[in-house]
Amino acid sequence: MARSVWKGPFVDGYLLNKADASRASGRNEVIKIWSRRSTILPQFVGLTFGVYNGHKFLPVQVSENMVGHKFGEFSPTRTFTGHSSDKKAKRG
């Protein structure tokens, strides 16, 4: 069941503070977080989070398209073994 609109998106408060501080510093840094349940907010766009998947911190580069999703959606907890042979990676 969807979350009621009047409540607004859920996010752990300390992430907001940390994101603001990271944006102000302008450094190349990864914010390691355990809060997979938090919603990605517009304030996080452009930052890189390391989202814990129970095993390691997977880098999540937040883009506009990801706003409204949860951090956990981008850090799978199961082993993935199937990339295509001719798949290309674009350097961000």
Partner 1 sequence: MGVVGRPHGVRGLVRVHSYAAVPEDLTAYGTLTDDRGQAWTLRWRGDGIAELRDAAGQAVASREAAQALVNRRLYIPRASLPEPDQDEFYFADLIGLPVHEQGGGVLGRVLVVHDYGAGVSLEIGGEGRAPLILAFTQACFPVIDIAAGRIEAVLPDEVEVQGDLSAEGEHASSAVGGAS
List CB contacts of 22: < 8 A, sequence separation 6 or more: 29, 31, 47
By CB under 8 A, tell whether 46 contacts partner 1: no
The single-letter DSSP state of residue 4 is P
Span 13-32, contacts to partner 1 by CB under 8 A = 13-16, 18, 22, 27-32
By CB under 8 A, tell whether 57 contacts partner 1: yes
Closest CA to 30 of 18, 48, 17: 48
Please answer whether residues 74 and 66 qualify as being in contact, where contact means their C-beta atoms are separated by less than 8 angstroms: yes
Site of tokens 């674009």: 90
The residue (of 1 and 91) whose beta carbon lies closer to partner 1 is 91
Among 1, 24, 54, 83, contact with partner 1 (rule: CB under 8 A): 83
Residues that bind partner 1 (CB under 8 A): 3, 5-16, 18, 22, 27-35, 37-39, 41-43, 48, 50, 56-63, 66, 68, 73-76, 80, 82-92
